[in-house]
Structure 1
């Protein structure tokens, strides 16, 4: 029983270490919440693309595909996070897993 408890504690410590070290080293992104409604994300996307460079989510851009409001909003939200250090919890969330995919690389 003591061996099992030690193993579970070690596993918990390791998981916490990985999560905390990612956060401490600035490896965080701000992306659209999965439950955020698309009309809200479209509103946010329109607003943010008036303030930041959204060329990567325009046709031909490295992050255009898949062409969905949620994917485009996530990219714009993260670019705003990088530029203005803003991550609005009403529609976005901090992620510790890199949301990059294919040719689309989040900074």
Structure 2
């Protein structure tokens, strides 16, 4: 997970600086944590970050069985284990046996 700078502001201070905080989040993709009674209450993130997170969640899916990506990975692992597909080294060796050069030097 990439490190994201996160500044903290008390709710009263955030209220007074809201326009500046929005500009900061929008312009830098940093996150702003707003505290209430000394405890983290909410986090402001850019719309771009939110959309990227939602796209990732949609792609992975809530249920692993519905995940297109995870299903494809599982299928590839099964195909590799069963010998349906091989590694790049296997492919290079097969091509070499047939007289096909993989390095055109």
TM superposition score normalised by structure 2: 0.21
Structure number with higher relative contact order (C-alpha < 8 Å, ≥ 6 residues apart): 1
TM superposition score normalised by structure 1: 0.21
Q: Which has the higher strand share?
A: 2
Q: Which has the higher helix share?
A: 2
Which protein is bigger by CA-based radius of gyration? Answer: 2
